[in-house]
Amino acid sequence: MDSSKPVVAYDFSPMIIIYKDGRVRRLQGTEVVPPSLDPKTNVECKDVLYSPENGLSVRLHMLKNTNRNKKLPLLVYFHGGGFYAQSPFSPQTHNFLNSLVAEANIIAVSVEYRKAPEHPVPCALDDSWTALQWVGSHAHGAGLEDWLNDYADFQRVFFCGDSAGATIAHHMGLRHGREKLKGVNVKGVALCHPYFWGKEPVGDESTDAEFRQRREKYWKMACPSSSGCDDRLINPAADPNLARLGIGRVLVFVAEKDFLRARGWYYYEKLKGSGWVGDVEIAETEGEYHVFHLKNPACKKAVAMLKRLASFFNQQ
């Protein structure tokens, strides 16, 4: 036996492999697209450091030659990847936001955050809140980034994310409800195939013990301090403060063949019944899988989802 060969501690393929010596092998989401002008959408982007102490940046997306006299809705976007993978600079995130910005005529801030297992949850949540505070520092036109000072309408701010990024977007809405970002009016949050879970099955969710144990282990590796799959960080339905979500409109997307589908519906029902004063909608895409809109953005259903998001960000 080759003693130099690393021993696998946890194999979460096709996402990540964690070895007993602490090494991590990410199997997806490591490719990087440099900031550029996309000729197909006419959207340009740039990267700006928001957390020098942790070396974290945001990627800003905006249509080239935007009129300075017209303020644009501001979207803050949190990428998915199970808290383990992807970034604002990954091709699927970068390309999706270029298309969304072009369709909706908005300015987008895509947030980089530290990832598990090297930086366990709640690091991703803390970084995301730091990014929101940095964004909010531009609310009166005196921030360090001219694109936000000159073009962003801080009375029309939205949060959005896919998968684990949708989980983050939800928690940013809760934290905004508690602490309020000064000078910022958060109009809505869109959750695309949110990564929520729980100890006991809901709806038509799988009851297979091995499958559920693997999902629990996956979560516990991302958040070792967690109490388990009914921790409010992964199961918002278990949060007694759910009604304090500091946002007036929520749009939840689910996909028929996504194993997380029932959780999205469960969140929708629980939020409606929580006493929260707001408007929540849910949209299910038939015949599709988790984050299909990122993996196959040109398909008819992905385009329809993009247009629904654009409409949501442009409602008055």
The reported pLDDT for the residue numbered 2 is 55
Whole-number pLDDT of residue 213: 95
Three-state SS annotation for 42-61 = CEEEEEEEEECCCCEEEEEE
DSSP letters along 83-143, please?
TTS--TTSHHHHHHHHHHHHHHT-EEEEEP---TTTS-TTHHHHHHHHHHHHHHTTTTS-S
How confident is the model at residue 5, as a pLDDT? 80
Answer yes or no: is pLDDT of 48 > 90: yes
- Give the C-alpha separation, 164 to 104, whole Å: 23
- Give pLDDT, residue 6: 87
pLDDT tens sequence across 100-159: 999 999 999 999 999 999 999 999 999 999 999 999 999 999 999 999 999 999 999 999
Q: Where are the beta strands (DSSP E) in 131-274?
A: 152-162, 186-192, 249-255
Query: Confidence class of residue 40 from pLDDT cuts 50, 70 and 90?
Result: very high
Mean pLDDT, to the nearest integer, of 244-256?
Answer: 97
- Confidence band, pLDDT 50/70/90 cuts, at residue 68: confident
189-240: pLDDT as tens digits: 999 999 999 999 999 999 999 999 999 999 999 999 999 999 999 999 999 9
Best CA proximity match to 249, nearest among 128, 171, 159: 159
Phi, psi of 134, deg, nearest 5: -65, -45
Q: Quick check: bond before 6 cis, omega within 30?
A: no
Q: What span, in angstroms and rounded, lies between the C-alpha atoms of 44 and 226?
A: 39
Look at residue 67 in the predicted model and tell me its pLDDT. 85
Q: What is the pLDDT of residue 181?
A: 95
| pLDDT over 70 percentage in the chain | 98
Q: Per-residue confidence at 188, pLDDT binned at 50, 70, 90?
A: very high
Helix (H) or strand (E) holding 185: none
To the question of pTM greater than 0.95 for the whole model, the response is: yes
Q: Hey, which residues are catalytic here? A: 163, 258, 290
- Domains along the sequence of the chain with CATH: 1-30 (no CATH), 33-314 (3.40.50.1820)
pLDDT in tens, 260-304: 999 999 999 999 999 999 999 999 999 999 999 999 999 999 999
Mean pLDDT of all residues in the chain?
A: 96
Whole-number pLDDT of residue 3: 59
Contact of 234 with 199, CB cutoff 8 Å: no
267, 283, 269, 206: which is closest to 232 by C-alpha?
267
